[in-house]
Amino acid sequence: MTLAIIAGAGRLPAALVSALPQRPYIAALDSFAPDGVIPDTTFRVERLMPFLRQLEDAGVTRVCFAGAVKRLSLDPALFDPATATIIPRLLAAMGQGDDATLREVLAVFEEAGFTISGVLDIAPRIVPAAGFYAGTMTPRDQADATRAAAIVAALGQIDVGQGAVVQQGLCLAVETLSGTDVMLASVANLSYLRPSGSKGLFYKAPKPLQDRRIDLPTIGPTTVEQVAAAGLGGIVWEAGGVITLDLAAMIALANRHGLFLCARKV
């Protein structure tokens, strides 16, 4: 066994396991159990170095990070001596934002001799290429997608978020630490600000400077339902840069609600 999934919360780890020809070793971060899959082991960041040795003993040589992890609260009483030596660098990275933290985590794993594989490397079929997957877009929708892509790229430069909602050139919301669900729920309450005409869209893309081996944005059937509830016209995402959970279900829901789904080439 050579591949391990370093799993966080949500459905992505299970979707990734389903997309692979052979079940990988699954290690879940404590308090962030994945949905729909039983981990082989659970670990804490305070004992990261013993965990890395455990992976070696299991024959793991490659790791893929998948799943959601919120800001961690570390317990100094749990540090082992080896892990305690790397905590200052992790804390320094955490103070610089999510991207810096993730880069530092990758560096620790690479220094321990593991190869980092991204979701796109091991399961490309769940990261769709450019194309329309449901519905059609008007020229106004296309212009909104271009505007939203520029907004997300600008915010990504300062490590803020991976999504935005735009309607007729107006930015109704951007994704922050609270996440996509909260952002889309807020849009549903903005009827007094929204122009008449085209309904607008939700756009999702990786941050320009992020390491794409980790933390690719993810959308799924729940996202489609939330976009419909927000009264938007559809979803556009960066082709090759966004993970889709159950694309077939997303397409069926989009057709039911009359929404468009488009993977946009950048």
Tell me the C-alpha distance between 161 and 159, whole Å: 6
In terms of domains, do 135 and 116 share one? no
Picking from 34, 41, 46, the residue whose alpha carbon sits closest to that of residue 58 is 41
Q: Which CATH number do you get for residue 48?
A: 3.40.50.20
In terms of domains, do 154 and 97 share one? no
Q: How many domains does the chain have?
A: 2
Cα torsion through 205, 175, 164, 94, rounded to 10: -40
Residue at a domain's end among 122, 138, 172 = 122
- Where residue 175 falls (left for φ over 0; alpha for ψ -120 to 50; beta otherwise) is beta
In terms of domains, do 93 and 141 share one? no
Which pLDDT tens digit goes with each residue over 19-60?
999 999 999 999 899 999 999 999 998 999 999 999 999 999
- Give the model's confidence band at 1: pLDDT under 50 very low, under 70 low, under 90 confident, else very high: low
Tell me the C-alpha distance between 244 and 77, whole Å: 39
Mean pLDDT, rounded, of the chain: 92
In terms of domains, do 95 and 154 share one? no
Q: Give residue 171's domain range.
A: 127-264
In terms of domains, do 190 and 168 share one? yes
In terms of domains, do 113 and 135 share one? no
Q: For the chain, give the percent of residues with pLDDT over 90.
A: 76
pTM: 0.87
Residue at a domain's end among 106, 122, 138 = 122
- Given a cut of 80, is residue 100 above it in pLDDT? no
Please state the separation of Cα 250 from the chain's center in Å: 17
Q: Which residues contact 196 (CB under 8 A, 6 or more apart)?
A: none
User: H helices within the chain, ranges in order?
Assistant: 12-19, 48-57, 81-84, 87-94, 98-111, 119-122, 139-157, 180-187, 221-229, 247-257
In terms of domains, do 84 and 136 share one? no
- Give the model's confidence band at 98: pLDDT under 50 very low, under 70 low, under 90 confident, else very high: low
Q: Which residues contact 132 (CB under 8 A, 6 or more apart)?
A: 260, 261, 262
In terms of domains, do 100 and 158 share one? no
In terms of domains, do 86 and 138 share one? no
And the tokens for 210?
């992020």
Q: Which CATH number do you get for residue 185?
A: 3.40.140.80
And the tokens for 192?
């007094």
In terms of domains, do 141 and 259 share one? yes
Residue at a domain's end among 89, 122, 155 = 122
At 17 the pLDDT is 94
- Given a cut of 80, is residue 94 above it in pLDDT? no
Which pLDDT tens digit goes with each residue over 119-158?
999 999 999 999 999 999 999 999 999 999 999 999 999 8
And the tokens for 6?
């370093």
Which pLDDT tens digit goes with each residue over 173-211?
999 988 899 999 999 888 877 888 889 999 999 998 888
What's the chain's length in residues? 266
In terms of domains, do 140 and 204 share one? yes
At 116 the pLDDT is 95
In terms of domains, do 116 and 131 share one? no
CB 123 within 8 A of CB 19: yes
